[in-house]
A and B are shown apart, each in its own frame.
Chain A
Amino acid sequence: MRKEYIDGQKREHGRKVVISLPIHYPKEILTALDILSVELWGPPGEVLGYQAGRIQTYVCPLVRKALAFIAGGYASSADALLFPHTCDSIQGLASLIPDFGGWDGPILRFIHPKGERRTSSEAYLAREIDDFIAQAEKLAGKKLEPKRFSDAVRLHVEIDALRRRIIEKRRNIDMRDAELYAILRRGEWLWPEDHLIELKELAAKIADKPLKKGVALMLSGIVPEPMDIFETLENAGAFVVADDYAAIGRRIPAPIDKLPDDPKQAVIERYFALPPCSTRASDLAGRVEYLAAAYKKSGAAGLILHNVKFCEPEMFDVAMIKKRFTAMGAPLLYMETELEKQLSGQLSTRLEAFVEMASKGGNK
Chain B
Amino acid sequence: MITRKIQYQLAKNAVGPFLMALDRWQQAQKQRKRKPRETPFGPPLEAVQKLKEIMTQNYFEGRYADGAVPVVWVTSGFPAEVFFALGFHVVYPENHAALCSTRHKVTEIAEFAERDGLSRDVCSYARTDIGSVISGKTPVGRLPKPDMIACCTNICQTVLYWYRNLAEYLNVPLVLVDTPFMYGGTKEHHLAYVSDQLGEVIEFAEKISHRKMDSEKLARVVENARDGSRLWGECLAISQARPAPWTGIDTFFHIAPIVTIRGTEVCNAYYRLLKDELTQRVAAGIGGIKNEKHRLLWDNLPIWFKVREHSTMTAERGFNFVCATYSNAWAEAGDLIDPAHPLESAAKTYTYVYLNRDLNNRLKTTVDLAKSFGVDGAVLHSDRSCKPYSVGQVDVKERLQKDMGIRVLLLEADHADERSLSGEQAEMRLLAFMESFNE
Please give the residue numbers on chain A whose beta carbons come within 8 Å of chain B beta carbons, in ascending order: 53-56, 58-59, 63, 85, 87-89, 91-96, 98-101, 109, 111, 113-115, 118-121, 123-124, 127-128, 130-131, 278, 281, 283-285, 309-310, 312-313, 315-323, 334
Contacts and interface: CB of A to CB of B under 8 A. Distances in A.
Contacts of B196: 119-120, 123-124
B117 A323 contact: yes
Contacts of A88: 156-158, 387-388, 391
Name, among B160, B200, B391, the residue most crowded by chain A CB atoms within 10 Å (CB to CB): B391
What is the predominant secondary structure among interface residues of chain B facing chain A?
helix
A316 B164 contact: yes
B5 interface: no
A343 B383 CA distance: 29
16 contacts: A56-B391, A58-B387, A63-B391, A85-B180, A88-B157, A88-B391, A92-B388, A95-B392, A113-B178, A115-B178, A123-B192, A127-B189, A131-B187, A281-B164, A318-B118, A334-B117
Contact of A92 (B180, B391, B399): B391
Contacts of B215: none
B387 A85 contact: no
A285 B168 contact: yes
A319 B178 contact: no
Contacts of A94: 183
Contact of B157 (A100, A114, A127): A114
Contacts of B189: 124, 127-128, 130-131
Given A124-B193, A316-B164, A99 B359 contact: yes
A281 B161 contact: yes
B197 interface: yes
A248 B393 CA distance: 33
Contacts of A56: 382, 384, 387, 390-391, 393-394, 412
Interface in B168-186: 168, 176, 178, 180-181, 183
Contacts of B391: 55-56, 59, 63, 88-89, 92-93, 96
Contacts of B395: 54, 96, 99-101
Contacts of B216: none
B165 A316 contact: yes
A96 B359 contact: yes
A316 B122 contact: yes
A120 B193 CA distance: 6
Given A59-B391, A118-B197, A127-B189, A281 B399 contact: no
A129 B295 CA distance: 48
A56 B180 CA distance: 24
B39 interface: no
A303 to B, nearest CB: 13
B190 to A, nearest CB: 7
A315 B390 contact: no
B394 A319 contact: no
A310 B158 CA distance: 12
Given A99-B360, A120-B200, A87 B157 contact: yes
Given A96-B392, A99-B360, A115-B176, 11 more contacts: A58-B121, A59-B391, A114-B157, A114-B176, A120-B197, A121-B193, A128-B180, A281-B157, A284-B167, A312-B123, A321-B117
B303 interface: no
Given A120-B197, A319-B118, A323-B116, A58 B388 contact: no
Nearest to A86: B157
B165 A315 contact: no
Nearest to B171: A285
Nearest to B390: A56
A96 B399 CA distance: 13
Contact of B119 (A111, A115, A120, A318): A318
A111 B181 contact: yes
B387 A91 contact: no
A21 to B, nearest CB: 14
B192 A109 contact: no
Contacts of B116: 319, 322-323
B408 interface: no
A127 B358 contact: no
B9 to A, nearest CB: 36
A111 to B, nearest CB: 5
B387 A59 contact: yes
Contact of A95 (B165, B183, B394): B183
A56 to B, nearest CB: 6
A79 B393 CA distance: 28
A283 B168 CA distance: 10
Interface string B128-144: 00000000000000000
Contacts of B358: 95, 99
B126 interface: yes
Given A95-B183, A114-B153, A121 B178 contact: yes
